[in-house]
Amino acid sequence: MQVKSSRWWRKKIGLSLRVGRIGSWPLAKKLLLLNVLGIASTLLVCLALFSASYSYIATQRLKSEALANAHILANNVAPMLVFNDQKAAKTLVHSFTDMPDLRYLSIVNTKNKTFAEWGVLAADSPPPLLIKLLPHSAAEMTYDHIVVLTPVALDGEPLGEIKLQIGFDAIYTETLQFFLFGLVLIAIAIVIASIILNRLQVKALAPIFELSAIAEKVASERNYSLRAQPRGRDELGRLSYHFNQMLAKIEAWETDIRAELDQSKESARCLDLLANYDNLTKLPNRHYFNQALAKMVEQSLVTEQFSALMFIDLDNFKYVNDQYGHEAGDAVLIIIAQRLNVLLRSTDMPCRLGGDEFAVILPHIANIEAVSHLADRLVAAVNQDIIIHGNIMPVGASIGIACCPLHARDEKMLLHYADLAMYQAKKMGKNMSFVYSE
């Protein structure tokens, strides 16, 4: 029982694997297989029906011929039975032995004794019938032969009976030949039909193949501008039309999404500018400065390299605002920011902390002397004439310098010391720089 169960499961698994392999075939190949199987099944059923019909018609024809021959034989043998001419009867019987598939022929008199005989009677043949029970010809058919019984009479007086047994070997042979010939024709027809169907299906399924290729390309490239070629007004044409409509809607939706994303990015950029950059000078503001300063101090401590902070306060800026107006003060701030950017390195970061206060973050400096020299250059750049509406703006710059980790190891103290150094520069006469010192 267990062995049968395991065999059943192996057959089921094998069938599942074959079905799975067929499921992975291309659509044209699967349709061709289904069409060929349908055509082959139909042709085989038709061939079987034709073969059965041919066999039935042939047996009925053989039955009619056997009855006719038995009637002819009965008419010819009647005088021989009257005159008891057994020799002539035997000669007559042998003249009928050329009948196709004749297995047995006998003449029986009224005493139910064989008068003349040829061949061997089949074992399953019915026993001889009495004359009085057989007034007319009769035939009995089995799967492989036919038995014909015909009474022999003269002027209405019974003389005996004729018994014929004819086999169906020739009919079955012809039927088999017909069936085999039909199989050969079916095989040729299937091959021809496969070639024709393959070409017709490839042509008929071309729109589906095109849609499949476009769908794969859209999925891989995300290019929703692709379109299928219009294909008339049939089902495939409507499928292509609605497929193109779907791609158009997806493309429009993607365009809207991209526009929204671009707008969101632009809004985020604007918010970033508002949050981290000064709207007037476009320099980083105090919020961004605090983050950048903390990052510079951390990197300086990790890499053990010097960094510096400059705290810049403009001199006489309040006088400019009071004397020439805030518009002139804004113009001064913009010019000073531009001059700072020109003199500083790409790695340096000038910032506007608010009002007339600026700061410069200087990572990776060589020594304090280099920072002091750069500060002097910045003071000189600020002191150059700034002309607004024909008036020279009397502004200068006082710069305080603090270094990390030399003066401080955290951003708050570093900013505090740079601020103290800036106030020291103002006390010493303004328009100068000063390095923090305890």
Please say whether the beta carbons of 397 and 431 come within 8 A: yes
DSSP bridge partners of 387: 392
CA dihedral 252, 254, 259, 260 (to 10 degrees): 120
> How many angstroms separate the CA atoms of 238 and 246, rounded?
12
Please say whether the beta carbons of 67 and 148 come within 8 A: yes
CA distances to 280, 324, 326, 416 from 355, in Å: 11, 16, 11, 18
Nearest 5°: phi and psi at 60? -65, -40
Could you count the other beta carbons within 10 Å of the beta carbon of residue 427? 10
Please say whether the beta carbons of 401 and 371 come within 8 A: yes
Nearest 5°: phi and psi at 3? -65, -45
Look up tokens 């007086």; give the residue: 157
Task: Return all residues near 122 (Cβ < 8 A) that are at least 6 apart.
Answer: 103, 104, 145, 165
- Cα-based angle 122, 103, 156 (whole degrees, multiple of 5): 90
One-letter identity of residue 295:
K
> How many angstroms separate the CA atoms of 351 and 326, rounded?
20
Please say whether the beta carbons of 79 and 52 come within 8 A: no
Please say whether the beta carbons of 399 and 434 come within 8 A: yes
One-letter identity of residue 190:
I
Please say whether the beta carbons of 112 and 105 come within 8 A: no
Active-site annotation holds for 278? no
Nearest 5°: phi and psi at 134? -130, 75
Residues in the chain: 438
Using N-to-C axis directions, what is the helix angle for 317-324 and 326-343, rounded to 10°?
140
Nearest 5°: phi and psi at 119? 85, -175
One-letter identity of residue 367:
N
Please pick, among 278, 315, 356, 419, the residue that the annotation labels catalytic: 356
The closest of 435, 396, 428, 438 to 310, measured between CA atoms, is 435
Which residues have a catalytic role annotated?
356
